[in-house]
Structure 1
Amino acid sequence: MSGSARGSSFSPIPEGLVMTAQRLAKGETSSRALVEQCLEKIESCENARAAYTSDFSADRARQYADAADRIRAKGYQASPWAGLPISVKDLFDLKGQITRAGSTLLADRPVAPGDAEAIAPLRAAGFILIGRTQMTEFAYSGLGLNPHGAQPWNTLVDDGRAIPGGSTSGGAVSVATGAALASIGSDTGGSCRIPAALNALTGFKPTAGKISRKGMIPLSPTFDSVGSVALTVSDCHLLDHLMTGQTTDWVAPEPQSAPIRLLLPTSFVRDEADGQVLSVFEAVMRHLENAGIEIIRQPMPLLQDIADLNLQAQIVAAESYHYFHDDLLHHPEEFDPRVRERMILGANTSVAALRRLYIERQKLCARFNQDMLGFDALISPTVPVLPPMISACDDPQAYARYNRLMLRNPSLANLLDGCSYSLPLHWKGLPAGMMLTACHGQDASLARIAQRCENRLKSS
């Protein structure tokens, strides 16, 4: 990467969802004003425009905003979150729109008869779904590149266009440019956390299966999960709470006050790391330790075994090949060649071999749960390298290497059936992140840990 200073396009609405909702309740702002801020960003910032697909409608967003303001003025509202503008990855059904998943192959699909089950509670709560966002074709890459439409780029790199991270590329850029307050995405191997880290945002991947994936185009049902990209841990936690369909009032995660013990593997997650990333990451580790968070540095042989077995890549390729088999057979030229090449690898995995891969994965999950006894979470850099220039990824070998490095650390949470937050490490504008990963079902406790870490980072 040739630069890492924060770019002029980086100007999100600073309060995020939770604080902006408080301003709405006090009458300090209006939904129309918030939507107009987003629309102004889309109008004036090329990168913000590139973050959205052609389904974006300014008039529709204004109509929803005005309706939210009228209802609130009469003393009614769907929820405290009514009138907040967010974006949605082009992977989820939105009523009356075509879900293309970043592909030209699906352009002729019928419009969705209803919202995806993850999105329906957000609409019911009154969120304004301001637009659909660009993504890697079928969510199959961690770089965020797609030849089929406008290409958003990294919001922190000034001297050239660097990758935004993927596959929720447009979602992260929409938030980082101020064109949405938060974004809904998917995470199969880091697709929310990678672009969050590279654009100084917070990304969350919940335990898979916690949120319904009905109405979402799959890549790999074994690993797909519904996540979010936002400005804070509380914002991600809020969206997660609502998308699970919970009807109880949301409560912000309290920073964990009990002692926190984190495991930092001494290898694998730091291998091939960029010196700047490691330097800032270690500085942050000392900062957390000074705040009383215990960080244990020790080997974790499980991680090397994961690398040697390469289970996740095989499972994703096999499951995606099965789902997209007919299109791969009859319309191969319409795929992004880099996506098609990875999917076709799945043809080599038989049903019996796939079953064995599932069994081996269960063993790895059991080992992870055992290794994490006595620890609250695993901590690591979200990605070990700085974002390369988009042009550098034109070379197939460079593309493959960078994609592998972007996905390597975040995909652990998907493979091991855990939950994971990425927090921004944008000291001096560095496009990098710090990742916290916990075992299956520990989403609530991980949110409290992430909240304490976020508070400490913001106090520096």
Structure 2
Amino acid sequence: MSELAFRSISDLSNNYRNGEISPVTVIDACLKRIEQFEPKLGAFQALYAEDARQAAEAAEKAYQSGHRIGPFHGIPFALKDIIDVEGRITTGGSKVMSERISPGTATIARRLLAAGGILLGKTKTVEVAMGGWGTNEHMGTPWNPWDLKIPRTPGGSSSGSGVSVAAGLAGCAVGTDTGGSVRLPSAWCGIVGLKTSEGLLPTDGIIPLSHTLDTPGPMARCVDDVSLMFEVMAGRHPIDTDRDLELRQGLFGSREAGIRGLRLGVLSEDEREGTDVEILTLYDSAIDLLRSLGAEISVFQMPMRFADMQGATGSIIYSEGYYHHGEMFENENAQIDPYVRPRILGGRDIS
């Protein structure tokens, strides 16, 4: 039964359609793993077990009566706890916001639910999504599931989303990425995460860190699942008036077509200095694999050093983070993560 929690979205969808398994069985498998491993891993901020079971029963009846919505129907997923679901608490990973009731449902969450997805719960995050290690002093830091003996950092800020997917607690999850917050936990937990370009996915109903750079992103165990999630969530929203990228239908093309002819850029040799040899070896192996599959690899030179670009990006994040959360972080009596507070307050004098 545990194996069901690790099946891909497309496999589950086909299994449901053929009557081989039921959404109820899959949700029970996920909840069983959550019961077994969540006390150690701590991936979830909130769990909606009863609602998930009811949704699974409804999905089962829909499949039995031939009313399949689409390939995401009956798929268990989780949301980073900065994404609103109406009537649910969304803490933003902050003790200060631990009783904040969501006033509405984020468009990306609404689209996943409308596609028949089954929400298992909200996953833990670094406070206000400001941090790459995945740590949170007051709300708890999830364990990286690859080592159950020693607590190792999962990457952040979408820490719980990465852990829940890697451990088979959820079939897939949604994170957000401002400066690496989907990419880091995906890499550190050994799953697939997509940092989407600004404007491709709506950001309404998401507690902001940097309105210029915030982007939601799908997280799953294979590229095919990430692509399918993206297609469900994609499309502009009226609130995104300052985003200038329009969604193109079939952005990824056919998932069966492969990557032949796809042009991929890699950083120049001088940008690799200071990176561990083991990491570079794995990185180069991945590039070689992509090249063997037909991708065109091009070395490109950025207009500024990568480290300088990180500094410039950080200034934007600090400044806009202070704009959104400065009042809360200025309160010396508030229970604020000591790692996050100085970073947000660092944006006070940036204009």
Asked if TM exceeds 0.5, the reply is yes
2:186 equivalent in structure 1? 196
Q: Aligned letter for 1:142?
A: G
2:241 equivalent in structure 1? none
TM-superposed deviation, 1:39: 0.5
SS at match of 1:262: strand
1:25 matches 2:17:
yes
2:246 equivalent in structure 1? none
CA deviation vs aligned residue, 1:279-311 (integer Å, no higher than 9, x gap): 22223333444444443446x252416616821
TM-superposed deviation, 1:72: 1.7
Going from structure 1 to structure 2, the CA distance change for 1:50 and 1:123 (only over 3 Å counts) comes to same
TM-superposed deviation, 1:278: 1.4
Instruction: Within 5 Å, give how 1:164-313 maps onto structure 2.
Output: 164-245=154-235, 252-256=254-258, 258-267=260-269, 269-297=271-299, 300-304=301-305, 307=308, 310-313=311-314
CA deviation vs aligned residue, 1:340-389 (integer Å, no higher than 9, x gap): 11011111113xxxxxxxxxxxxxxxxxxxxxxxxxxxxxxxxxxxxxxx
1:36 equivalent in structure 2? 28
SS at match of 2:97: coil
Report the Cα distance in structure 2 between the residues aligned to 1:50 and 1:309, rounded to whole angstroms. 30
Q: Aligned letter for 2:181?
A: S
2:70 equivalent in structure 1? 79
Instruction: Within 5 Å, give how 1:368-447 maps onto structure 2.
Output: none
Contact 2:210 / 2:317 at 8 angstroms: preserved in 1? yes
Aligned equivalent of 1:144, options 134, 143, 157? 134
Structure 1, 71-80 or 38-47: larger mean CA deviation: 71-80
Report the Cα distance in structure 2 between the residues aligned to 1:51 and 1:271, rounded to whole angstroms. 34
Going from structure 1 to structure 2, the CA distance change for 1:294 and 1:260 (only over 3 Å counts) comes to same
The structure that is helix-richer by fraction is 1
TM-score by length of 2: 0.88
Q: Aligned letter for 1:134?
A: K
TM-superposed deviation, 1:149: 2.4
Going from structure 1 to structure 2, the CA distance change for 1:114 and 1:197 (only over 3 Å counts) comes to same
CA deviation vs aligned residue, 1:15-37 (integer Å, no higher than 9, x gap): 32122111111111111111111
Going from structure 1 to structure 2, the CA distance change for 1:11 and 1:349 (only over 3 Å counts) comes to farther
SS at match of 1:217: coil
CA deviation vs aligned residue, 1:50-84 (integer Å, no higher than 9, x gap): 1001x312212111111111122122133332211
1:101 equivalent in structure 2? 92
2:328 equivalent in structure 1? 327
Going from structure 1 to structure 2, the CA distance change for 1:104 and 1:125 (only over 3 Å counts) comes to same
Q: Aligned letter for 1:349?
A: I
SS at match of 1:347: coil
Q: Aligned letter for 1:115?
A: T
Report the Cα distance in structure 2 between the residues aligned to 1:46 and 1:325, rounded to whole angstroms. 33
Aligned equivalent of 1:62, options 20, 43, 53? 53
- Aligned pair count? 338
Going from structure 1 to structure 2, the CA distance change for 1:255 and 1:294 (only over 3 Å counts) comes to same
- The structure, 1 or 2, with the larger RCO (C-alpha pairs under 8 Å, 6+ apart) is 1
Contact 1:116 / 1:213 at 8 angstroms: preserved in 2? yes
Report the Cα distance in structure 1 between the residues aligned to 2:216 and 2:309, rounded to whole angstroms. 28
Gap regions ≥5 residues in structure 1: 1-9, 351-460
Report the Cα distance in structure 2 between the residues aligned to 1:157 and 1:309, rounded to whole angstroms. 30
Contact 1:238 / 1:252 at 8 angstroms: preserved in 2? no
TM-superposed deviation, 1:162: 1.2
Contact 2:182 / 2:193 at 8 angstroms: preserved in 1? yes
How much is the aligned-residue C-alpha RMSD, in angstroms?
2.6
TM-superposed deviation, 1:89: 0.4
1:360 equivalent in structure 2? none
Q: Aligned letter for 1:319?
A: E
TM-superposed deviation, 1:174: 0.6
Structure 1, 269-278 or 150-159: larger mean CA deviation: 150-159
1:14 matches 2:6:
yes
Report the Cα distance in structure 2 between the residues aligned to 1:48 and 1:230, rounded to whole angstroms. 21
1:449 equivalent in structure 2? none
Going from structure 1 to structure 2, the CA distance change for 1:272 and 1:301 (only over 3 Å counts) comes to same
TM-score by length of 1: 0.68
Report the Cα distance in structure 1 between the residues aligned to 2:209 and 2:58, rounded to whole angstroms. 36
Q: Aligned letter for 1:50?
A: G
- Structure 1: which 4+ aligned runs deviate by more than 6 Å? 248-251
Identity of aligned residues (%): 32
Gap regions ≥5 residues in structure 2: 237-248
SS at match of 1:102: coil
